[in-house]
Amino acid sequence: MSRYHVKRPGYEVFPVDVAWEREQAVPMRDGITIYGDVFRPADGVKAPVIILWSLHGKASTGSKTYDVTGPWHIGIPRERLSG
């Protein structure tokens, strides 16, 4: 994913170049393997791991996305969202 990528109009610009590895196997200690997308700095610099998890998948396509959670929008102004 390249620097300056914008997911949707009005969202923040992605600030850095990133290597995006889709559907990577991640073995857990209990023997289960989960699959997820891995985002790494494109320049190879080591960075900490952040794992996001949701019942609705990893593509933000669940029924509870920000745009449909009601008129209150959890009190966060759209211009303050990172995308």
| Segment 63-78, tens digit of pLDDT | 555 555 555 556 666 6
Check residue 60 and give its pLDDT: 57
* CA pair distance 38, 16, nearest whole angstrom: 15
Check residue 33 and give its pLDDT: 92
The string of pLDDT tens digits covering residues 24-53 is 998 999 999 988 888 888 998 898 887 777
Domain-by-domain residue ranges, the chain? 19-50
Q: Give the sign of the dihedral formed by CA 37, CA 43, CA 44, CA 48.
A: negative
Check residue 6 and give its pLDDT: 85
Check residue 32 and give its pLDDT: 94
Question: Would you say 12 and 80 are in contact if contact means Cβ atoms under 8 Å apart?
Answer: no
Rg (CA), the chain: 15
Question: Would you say 16 and 3 are in contact if contact means Cβ atoms under 8 Å apart?
Answer: yes
